[in-house]
Amino acid sequence: MKNKSLPLLWVVLLICLSCNPNKNLIVAHTIGTSTSEQIKDGERIDGNQLIDSLLTDRFSYNKALIKDGFNSKKQLPKPTAIINNTPLKTISFNGLNYLVKDGKVVDIKGLKLSASALSIITEKLANLDQIQQYCCEKSNLEYQQENRDINTIKTLDRQYFAALNTLKHVTSSIATEARKRNASILLEMSLAKIKLPDIKNLGMKTKRNYVAKIE
């Protein structure tokens, strides 16, 4: 005799799968994958979790060095682009979905933004993203030098953390202004007041001149 409840179970299972809002969401610490491996074109990304993951990865690596010295077997954090270098993806920050195409924010779903507002949002986010990725790459290179310069590493790491934390501040400000009337104008005014970490003038302070211009 066939079990009549089986078809019903399949229907319930299919409904549950189709209603899962996170099926395309990339979680910052997926088991068995690094942060950089989690970013794929055309997928949805939780930007807040990704930033927290990048901060945690670098902090954990530095903590391992303090404990085990430069003989630590912990893998160097991989440089990871958040906004740049991908043809198309949707990134969520503070409940807002940013549509990013070719490194530019082309839309924030649910908001009517002017071209100039989208331009300044792109400028802030893309520059901060470029800074954090650049500092991560150069810090990793310095770690691998035989005669590594600790001051250079400290400077690069400070700028790395500053860029990511400023990125969090920018996206938080966007979410706050988005709730108000005339959001497009208010966003432009608010973001214009936020200064990016100044790394251009720090190059001469480092032994290898790593910390300098972002082209």
For residue 164, what are the CA distances in angstroms to 50, 126, 136, 159? 10, 11, 11, 9
pTM reported for the whole predicted model: 0.72
Q: Can you give the residue ranges of every domain in the chain?
A: 24-205
* pLDDT at 214 > cutoff 80: no
Burial class (CB in 10 A: 0-12, 13-18, 19+), 150: exposed
**Tokens 């997928």 correspond to what residue?**
43
Phi and psi angles of residue 35, each rounded to the nearest 5 degrees, phi first: -60, -45
Q: Which pLDDT score is estimated for 84?
A: 86
Confidence of residue 200 (pLDDT cuts 50, 70, 90): low
pLDDT tens-digit readout, 68-90? 777 777 889 999 999 987 778 89
**What are the DSSP calls for 28-68, one per residue?**
TT-TT--TGGG--TT-EEEHHHHHHHHHHHHHHHHHHHHHH
Q: Which of 120, 92, 116, 95 lies closest to 175, judged by CA?
A: 95
Q: What angle do CA 175, 188, 165 make, to 5 degrees?
A: 50
